[in-house]
Structure 1
Amino acid sequence: MTASSYNPPCGGLPPQTALMTGRAVFTEAYAVIPKGVMSDIVTSVLPFWDGTRAWILSRPLSGFSETFAQYLMEVAPGGGSDRPEPDARAEGVLFVVGGHAALVLDGTTHDLRPGSYAYLPSGCAWTLRNRGAEPARFHWIRKTYEPVPGIDVPPAFVSHDSEVDPLAMKDTNGVWATTRFVAPDDVRHDMHVNIVTLQPGASIPFEETHVMEHGLFVLEGKAVYRLNRDWVEVEAGDFMWLRAFCPQACYAGGPGPFRYLLYKNVNRHPSLTFHRVAR
């Protein structure tokens, strides 16, 4: 992967001559936020983040995806935060798609570059600063960690897309593979953030229908995705947000690989009592 392959830059505004018709959709089962609507006017500024704007792509909504929030962050040169995480219960994953950032994690500095992946357990100490000459862009996925008595909290770690070999799905000849930064059977983790790669012409050949919620950000390529009752075209820079049990499948359109960053909640019993997390 080259740095430019992870996703095209976002922001700006379309010209006044542009048509308003687009691909954005929000339904009872899924949402598609295409790259074309990630404009300057929908960004947020965050407390204790300097020189930073964020596209908040998902947040817990009752009756929809309830477990996570996902941001696409853009930190200007010199910007960043010494108090990034406001909730001590929140765990996080950072995945860098552009520029460089210095992550100080439990006293150790890590130079993050496109393809870098950092897992941040709840309660850990971290800061992030852009000491480069261009904006740093990264995904920040946050989830309230669900502790289990007798099971340790997982440790922090930093990895890179190039350091993890994708694992092919069974009987696919490697055309459908997943880059797993955490072992699937490691029950310390209650969420997975992986990269799924489908080669041109490959497919997810059945409608997955399951309890896990999803955030899918397309890093490279294009595909036709089956979401509930609809077929939707998606490409690099688009985001899909799927509630639990939303049927899903896809065909990779080519001419190059189709890759997306995938969030899902895993490894915990479903709560039998509905309750809102206190804030």
Structure 2
Amino acid sequence: MTKKPADYYAPTGGLPPQTALMTQRAVFTEAYAVIPRGCFSDIVTSLLPGWRKTRLWLIARPMSGFAETFSQYVVEVQPGGGSDTPDNDPQAQSVLFVTHGLITLTIDGTGYELDTGGYAYIPAGAKWSVLAEGKDPARFHWIRKIWEPAAGVEKPTAFVTNDRDVKPTEMPDTQGRWATTRFVDPNDLRHDMHVTIVTFQPGGLIPFEETHVMEHGLYVLQGKATYKLNRDWVEVEAGDFMWLRAYCPQACYAGGPEPFRYLLYKDVNRHARLRGPWSNPGIER
């Protein structure tokens, strides 16, 4: 028996009124950034070559002092829109996560329908396309990372699933208050990035300051919480995005009254690069 569709926040754009206060929650530091949902306005959207009836908010990209390993887009495609040539980088692998509407995704000739909660992994070098076929705009996250080859490790294969069809894994000794929906086996070394959904029930928490090598992108899908980011406690809610650089201390307390859920990116399962974040994988210099 599958679970009922979840409630995911998806931005719709617009502009704040002229009467709105200019003081908001956006912050950019040496260790983390917070892009509140109020920043997802019409005037900061981007367009991409090869995409029809589509706009997006580009919320993470590799650059000095910010994300090093990934990019993340929040995409809105009007009915009938999409792309037959979505990505111009054959080294880029992708994860799509649908927060609203319906898309038809074709990967190497095989078609899939993804509705709300749909999750797709697209390996580097795959030929793929996407089309919004519903009556409403389709909205989804698109996370991209260069796949890093490793000796004896094959490239991952494409797959499609849905959040409601994957049982979350409870963290030990938390009585179910903290759980992670894992879409790939953590022991599968083919994957050098994990995109999961983390869920805290009201009152659930991260009871220590996590400090680790993985870079993070966190988009809040549902609920609200107080999040520890480096030295600061920051209030976040559905629609907010957080970037955490490697080793940024982090903790969390979910305030309720509904579950606090976020889409989480992290880089995993590869050696630390010794030639800087901009070096191409597998190339000796």
Question: Which of 192, 195, 202 lines up with 2:194 in the alignment?
Answer: 192
Q: Is this contact kept in 1: 2:217–2:243, CA < 8 A?
A: yes
Q: Is this contact kept in 1: 2:6–2:164, CA < 8 A?
A: no
Alignment of 1:37-76 (within 5 A): 37-76=39-78
- Residue 29 of structure 2 is aligned to residue 27 of structure 1: yes
Aligned to 1:207: 209
Alignment of 1:1-279 (within 5 A): 5-274=7-276, 276-277=278-279
Q: Classify 1:52/1:2 alpha carbon distance in 2 versus 1 (closer, same or farther; 3 Å).
A: farther
Deviations, residues 1-30 of structure 1 (Å, cap 9, x unaligned): 765711143300001111101000000000
Q: Classify 1:8/1:140 alpha carbon distance in 2 versus 1 (closer, same or farther; 3 Å).
A: closer
Q: Residue 70 of structure 1 aligns to a residue in which SS? A: strand
Distance in 2, Cα, partners of 1:163 & 1:78: 27
Could you say what the CA RMSD is over the residues aligned between the two structures, in angstroms?
Answer: 1.2
For normalisation by structure 2, the TM-score amounts to: 0.95
Query: Shift of residue 109 of structure 1?
Result: 1.2
For normalisation by structure 1, the TM-score amounts to: 0.97
Q: Classify 1:275/1:208 alpha carbon distance in 2 versus 1 (closer, same or farther; 3 Å).
A: closer
Distance in 2, Cα, partners of 1:122 & 1:267: 17
Q: Is this contact kept in 2: 1:65–1:244, CA < 8 A?
A: no
Query: Shift of residue 273 of structure 1?
Result: 1.6
Q: Please identify, of 102-111 and 120-129, the stretch whose mean Cα deviation from structure 2 is larger.
A: 102-111
Distance in 1, Cα, partners of 2:78 & 2:53: 5
Query: Shift of residue 276 of structure 1?
Result: 2.0
Unpaired runs of 5+ residues, structure 2, are 281-285
- How many residue pairs end up in the alignment? 278
Query: Shift of residue 63 of structure 1?
Result: 3.6
Deviations, residues 158-178 of structure 1 (Å, cap 9, x unaligned): 010011100000110111000
Q: Is this contact kept in 1: 2:68–2:277, CA < 8 A?
A: no
Q: Residue 140 of structure 1 aligns to a residue in which SS? A: strand
Deviations, residues 166-220 of structure 1 (Å, cap 9, x unaligned): 0000110111000000111110000000000000001001110011000000000
Q: Residue 43 of structure 2 aligns to a residue in which SS? A: helix
Query: Shift of residue 62 of structure 1?
Result: 2.1
Q: Is this contact kept in 2: 1:228–1:247, CA < 8 A?
A: yes
Q: Please identify, of 56-65 and 44-53, the stretch whose mean Cα deviation from structure 2 is larger.
A: 56-65
Q: Is this contact kept in 2: 1:58–1:71, CA < 8 A?
A: yes
Deviations, residues 254-276 of structure 1 (Å, cap 9, x unaligned): 00100000000000010112252
Unpaired runs of 5+ residues, structure 1, are none
Distance in 1, Cα, partners of 2:219 & 2:277: 28
Q: Which consecutive segments of 4 or more residues in structure 1 shift more than 3 A? A: 1-4
Distance in 2, Cα, partners of 1:8 & 1:164: 21
Distance in 2, Cα, partners of 1:147 & 1:163: 30
